[in-house]
DNA sequence: CGCGTTTTGATACAGTCGTATCGGTACGAC
DNA sequence: GTCGTACCGATACGACTGTATCAAAACGCG
């Protein structure tokens, strides 16, 4: 009777994993990845320690799942802005994506903090670095298409290598995102907005 | 006999604090800030736990001292490149400072990892964020002078607000530095070099 | 209903953490 | 020399950590 896995249970598992990832994100946004313990995650998710243990074999797997969830969320956020003939112009899409990164509400601020924590972890743990490296690959692929479109439309700064501009953008986004993570809640975002305007102009010419 | 503090002892303290900071940096570069424990720091510095405790009242003070030491080191590194009439041109100085950030040796790689760890900590601990915010202030002041010099020499991109360009540069440096922290040891740095060339051209016009 | 299988949450375990304590030791003053 | 003080390193403490174990409950199925 066990040769086919019970479907409803699988759904439960999936949703539960999501709950756990949410809990990790809440804790990490509050106390950093250092503050994430199995007991705390279980309590935050309203589960017992055992339940969390059954879902994830180790804490490492736990955190890796949370990182993957975060990556997907950020990628989905970027994907909301559609650049192309039937969507935004390249310049406007670029500007909106970058402005959307700014920590204008608590949700964004929390996400930036989580991101900073995972970045630090990736610096000393290849398993996490790989996840981010794969994100880089995906991002480059998307950017390549967007920049190709921009070039066709003549919306790219003349005399610049498009690939190099794309790399500039990737680095800039990382910096913007991580800078925002450490800004106080009531910080004036004007400098960052000015930097965004500058980078948009530098890329679109 | 104790109304004047004993001078030689003070010197010892200073050097010992330096040893401890070095030890923290080594551990943080290897395992991240999460791997830093008082016992490990003491062992790495060749001291007893008590000795470290006498030097630093708490672990927080310990880490804060290490961060301050790291900030000073990075600032000193930037200061090595002198831009001005009797030094480098703005363009060349800018390029060299940025290229110098790339993780071309183990020391630089370690520093980038430490920096990533402190960034993450600053995202959830205002005490650390303040140290970095003060660094921002100092950096802006230096950049203001350098950009002023560049403007006088006509070496700044026309039509751009110098202050906005400076903010762009700050964000870019953060991103470059932190991106490098998670690159594998044998990573090809060509994309980052290309991004640097692009940003130099974008700023200097 | 009753049985077999899973799932559950509590608890145990061994270890590490930051910090406090404390007897021994070295050293300067007289 | 002897005293007093400041420093030293070891060790103790309680609170955590991640993980393993296990009786009890819940559930599906004949």
Tell me, yes or no, whether A196 lies in a domain: yes
**What was the pLDDT predicted at A203?**
95
3-state helix, strand, coil in chain A (%, to 5): 75, 0, 20
Of B34, B165, B184, the CB nearest to A129: B184
Tell me, yes or no, whether A46 lies in a domain: no
Report the CATH number at residue A193. 1.10.357.10
pLDDT tier at B14 (50, 70, 90 boundaries)?
confident
The residue behind tokens 């500007």 is A95
H helices of B32-161, where?
A: 38-45, 49-55, 59-79, 90-101, 106-124, 126-152
Tell me, yes or no, whether A134 lies in a domain: yes
Tell me, yes or no, whether A187 lies in a domain: yes
Q: Is the predicted pLDDT of residue B157 greater than 60, yes or no? A: yes
Tell me, yes or no, whether A162 lies in a domain: yes
Percentage of residues in chain B with pLDDT exceeding 90? 78
Q: Is the predicted pLDDT of residue B2 greater than 80, yes or no? A: no
Tell me, yes or no, whether A32 lies in a domain: no
Cα distances from A178 to residues A15, A119, B14, in angstroms, run 29, 9, 33
How many angstroms separate the CA atoms of A115 and A97, rounded?
Answer: 17
B10 vs A46 pLDDT, higher one: A46
Q: Provide the chain A residues 38-97 that lie in CB contact (below 8 A) with chain B.
A: none
pLDDT, one tens digit per residue, over A142-185 is 999 999 999 998 889 998 899 999 999 999 999 999 999 999 98
Chain A environment of B156 (Cβ under 8 Å): none
Tell me, yes or no, whether A141 lies in a domain: yes
- Which nucleotides of strand C lie under 7 Å from a protein CB? 5-11, 16-22, 28-30
**What was the pLDDT predicted at B124?**
94
Counted domains in chain A = 1
Tell me, yes or no, whether B45 lies in a domain: no
Give Cα A99 distance to the centre of its chain: 15
Average pLDDT over residues A40-59: 93
Q: How far is A31 from chain B (nearest CA, A)?
A: 6
Question: What is the number of other CB atoms lying within 10 angstroms of the CB of residue A131?
Answer: 17
Q: Which residues on neighbouring strands pair with residue B88, listed in sequence order?
A: B83
Question: What is the number of other CB atoms lying within 10 angstroms of the CB of residue A107?
Answer: 10
pLDDT, one tens digit per residue, over A79-118 is 899 988 888 999 999 999 999 999 999 999 999 999 999 9
What string of H, E and C letters represents the secondary structure of B77-108? HHHCCCECCCCECHHHHHHHHHHHHCCCCHHH
Domain range for A195 = 60-204
Q: Is A83 helix (H, G, I), strand (E, B) or coil?
A: strand
């Amino acid at each position: 009777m066990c040769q086919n896995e019970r479907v409803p249970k699988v759904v439960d598992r999936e949703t539960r994993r999501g709950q756990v990832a949410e809990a990790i994100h809440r804790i990490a946004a509050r106390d950093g990845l250092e503050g994430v313990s199995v007991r705390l995650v279980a309590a935050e998710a309203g589960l017992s320690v055992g339940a969390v243990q059954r879902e994830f074999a180790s804490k490492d797997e736990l955190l890796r799942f949370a990182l993957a969830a975060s990556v997907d969320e950020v990628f989905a956020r970027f994907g909301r802005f559609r650049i192309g003939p039937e969507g935004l112009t390249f310049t406007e899409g670029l500007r909106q994506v970058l402005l959307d990164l700014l920590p204008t509400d608590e949700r964004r601020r929390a996400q930036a903090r989580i991101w900073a924590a995972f970045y630090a972890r990736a610096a000393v743990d290849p398993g996490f670095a790989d996840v981010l490296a794969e994100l880089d690959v995906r991002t480059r692929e998307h950017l390549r298409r967007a920049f190709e479109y921009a070039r066709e439309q003549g919306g790219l700064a003349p005399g610049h290598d498009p690939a190099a501009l794309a790399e500039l953008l990737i680095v800039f986004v990382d910096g913007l995102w991580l800078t925002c993570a450490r800004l106080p809640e009531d910080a004036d975002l004007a400098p960052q907005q000015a930097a965004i305007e500058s980078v948009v102009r530098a890329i679109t010419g």
